[in-house]
Amino acid sequence: MNRLIFLVDMNAFFISCEMAKNPKLKGKPAAVAGDPKKRSGIIFAANYEARKFGVRTTMVLHEAKKLCPELITVPPNRELYEKKSKEVMDILSRYTPVIQQNSIDEAWMDLTGCEKLFGSPVEIAENIMGTISRELDLWCSIGISENKFLAKMGSELKKPRGITELYVKDIKEKLWPLPVREMYGIGKQTEQKLMDYAIYKIGDIACSNVEFLKSNFGKYGEELYRLSRGIDNSPVVPNPLYDSKSISRSTTLPQDTNDLEYIKNVLMGLAEEVGYEARKSGYKGKTVSITIKYEDFTVVTRQKTVTPTYLTKDIYTNALRLFEANKNKNKLIRLLGLGLSNLETDELEQISIFDLVEGKNNTKKEETIEKTIDRIRERFGDKKIVRGSMLKNSKGI
């Protein structure tokens, strides 16, 4: 049976939340922006009135003001966007429990089999869009397809307030004429490399030789080929709930040990999983904690406050410090746990790509790198990317 997958993407989300809260902003060019006193303040989200003047996300504020002198700016309000995001997800969950939030302002829904309950795909989409608008005074675009990739691509085709069906049978006409940069997942580097091979449009990828793509882009080339042909079997994986505001992992060791090198590997593995989960859900944590259970079943839990992070490297470094400061050398360890808590939404994550391009900010750079690793991991499974430090020490026990 064909699946029915939606991607619901909120339109100009941050500034729309501000407009819903303060209707005086409606109909006027407005944007959420960094501190206007600093020349470096940038636009985080512009409404459609402001976009008409050419104001864009990541634009420096004084540049935006030049284009649109009457631009009204409001400072970012993280709590508000987080709350509204949750309200949107609550509405979506009335239609299906199978929802995978992709970022603060978008989510996939698996509605396979729901037509009988709610009507045709377009009717369901209209219903969702109407409910969100009525209850939250926010607008969205919805892509409808039989898989996640095409649903995402469909949602991008018509904004704002668009409902777009994009099935495999439509891709020659609707997807293939688009430039490769518009393909979900393609970054600047891949775009450049494709163009070096005279591959300009998504259709050019689809009509390339898959062996050629594989030899130049590795497994990713094969993935690009498959997606360009509208093939994506990845499931909609519901996100875990973050009501508890923490992400944690633990593992019982194959045998009790106090071998530090081995323990470092275990902590790195746990940090990888926790960091991955945090980045995927767009949360950074302010507290890193470890749990050590010894051979005699006594348990020690320790935590420390850190600069909000979802980077594997930071989580690991802090966990290791906690471990070294608190371990009992005389006992063997039976179980290790690692947690990240005091989570907050990484509201400005879209900026990271910009910073990488500009080469401005090392943390942003690392965040982008780790997210790229995550993408590759999602495509090819867990084992493909292993950190150098894990390889060096993978002696097992």
Of all residues in this chain, which one has the CB nearest to Mg ion in the complex? Answer: 106
Nearest distance, CB of residue 140 and Mg ion, angstroms? 9
Our CB check for Mg ion shows the closer of 12 and 274 to be 12
Name 32's bridge partners: 45, 74
Q: Which stretch binds Mg ion (CB under 5 A): 16-24, 98-106, 199-207, 229-237?
A: 98-106
Residue type, 249: R
Q: Is the dihedral of CA 223, 229, 230, 233 positive or negative?
A: negative
Q: Under the criterion CB under 5 A, does residue 105 sit at the interface with Mg ion?
A: yes
Q: Check if 106 is active-site.
A: yes
Nearest distance, CB of residue 155 and Mg ion, angstroms? 8
Strand positions, DSSP E, 5-148:
5-10, 30-33, 43-46, 72-74, 99-103, 106-110, 140-145
Q: Under the criterion CB under 5 A, does residue 346 sit at the interface with Mg ion?
A: no
Distance (Å, whole) CA 89 – CA 99: 8
Q: Under the criterion CB under 5 A, does residue 146 sit at the interface with Mg ion?
A: no
- Residues 6 or more apart in contact with residue 155 via CB below 8 angstroms: 7, 8, 9, 106, 141, 142, 143, 162, 164
Nearest distance, CB of residue 149 and Mg ion, angstroms? 15
Distance (Å, whole) CA 221 – CA 218: 5
Catalytic residue among 18, 49, 106, 273: 106
Distance (Å, whole) CA 156 – CA 106: 12
Q: Under the criterion CB under 5 A, does residue 273 sit at the interface with Mg ion?
A: no
Our CB check for Mg ion shows the closer of 187 and 313 to be 187
Our CB check for Mg ion shows the closer of 57 and 228 to be 57
Q: Under the criterion CB under 5 A, does residue 349 sit at the interface with Mg ion?
A: no
Our CB check for Mg ion shows the closer of 248 and 350 to be 350
The per-type count for the chain, helices as H runs and strands as E runs, is: 17, 12
Question: Binding string to Mg ion for residues 154 to 173, with x set by CB under 5 A, is what?
Answer: --------------------
Question: Binding string to Mg ion for residues 201 to 240, with x set by CB under 5 A, is what?
Answer: ----------------------------------------
Closest CA to 312 of 385, 243, 381, 366: 366
Number of residues that bind Mg ion (CB under 5 A): 3
CA distance readout (Å), 287 to 57, 67, 264: 30, 42, 19
Distance (Å, whole) CA 206 – CA 178: 12
Helix, strand or coil, per DSSP, at residue 212: helix
Neighbours of 101 (CB within 10 A): 21
Question: Binding string to Mg ion for residues 51 to 90, with x set by CB under 5 A, is what?
Answer: ----------------------------------------
Q: What is the DSSP code (8-state) at residue 179?
A: B
Nearest distance, CB of residue 350 and Mg ion, angstroms? 8
Our CB check for Mg ion shows the closer of 49 and 105 to be 105
- Taking CB under 5 A as the criterion, the residue among 18, 49, 106, 156 binding Mg ion is 106
Q: Which stretch binds Mg ion (CB under 5 A): 2-10, 20-28, 131-139, 330-338?
A: 2-10
Task: Please give the residues from 6 up to 25 whose contact with Mg ion meets the rule CB under 5 A.
Answer: 9
Catalytic residues: 106
Which residues of the chain form contacts with Mg ion (CB under 5 A)? 9, 105-106
